[in-house]
Structure 1
């Protein structure tokens, strides 16, 4: 298995989740970066940026990797969609303070990455980046910000893993009577069925959870962590630092990659 460099601390958990899954697929395939480049059509330098968390790969690159290692790309593309939304938010925030604040890494995630890949295939030298390209990148970031806002409204209306939001009526309360906080609490009903442990909250075995997620799937994982003798804090359905620490301990105990992200392998370890 490759010795991967530590991902940047400022990387959004949703982007981190995608990079970790791409790294696992690359490791399990046994392919080198050159072999992966030959199979996908994306240069080794591009894959170094993608797998190092410095650039966001395109959906086409993600699908190409999945097919190169013989995996169904469906779930990976769903994970990429969430990561792309987080990446777009980051670029929109940078664009709001002025085009000059856009980092070179953020720009690489769009035009620069695709130009490098095209150079690897055709051998042509890409033209220098002009002021026009920079202005186009800023415009694209603003468009992404608007699209992201629409997506968030849709997801908050019916998403399964979004944080519960306070009712609109709470914003109308007076300053003298603050609205009480209502953190949902869950009850663990541990039972063993067909050789697997369940807590009676969610029967998922493949949901991807990381710091910042909330909902019944998180509460189910917290119950299973407590059953295993690892304290996740309260059973509140919120994936915070204490829960992440317990997940890492469970992964270390099971001999898994210790990344604090719950995926199919970690679910399997918690349920057996």
Structure 2
């Protein structure tokens, strides 16, 4: 969504209120982003946040379950007790003693057969590994299913979501184009020439959108949001005016817009 919207970390930080370092951790998978950051990214890129919330809940449950599993340790084996004084087994277990006059024969010690099966604790570890692998496969399948469901949602169904509608309602601006002292103005930002770039919002963006429309280039709606349509209109205007085509409205671009 970030790359498709041509957003940079600086744009995300300026638009959402979360720092660029935080977005690097979120997008790099180091830290799970908060729900508010997910909603802010969806609003900025014009996407439906409902499938993203479902994926966020799945990721949260998976991380909590992984932490709970890593905290459990298999029980340790305790060695069998041995005689502290190093004495031999009683005569009843070692057989009859040899006469004192003859050479002493070594005692015959009865021992249990060595265990040939797997060591205790191996099966729980194998079962735990298999369970983690099965859970990872299931989560991946659910993720792919949610992504496909998100792509198949019709626009009408997406518009019916109350939270999405409330979050995506842009403010309205009215263009009042007038010329004073040889400079064009839309009457929105009091004639400011503030530098703005992709991802910016507010009256300065709405002023630029009005002036772009006056110049015969459509920026989309006059909504005060520097989105893809406004970016395309700014680049088209800069190319026509012989300016550097960087998509940012600086002093020279404002001067050319106000003509």
- Higher CA-based Rg: 2
**TM-score, normalised on structure 1?**
0.40
Write 1 or 2 for the structure with the bigger share of helix.
1
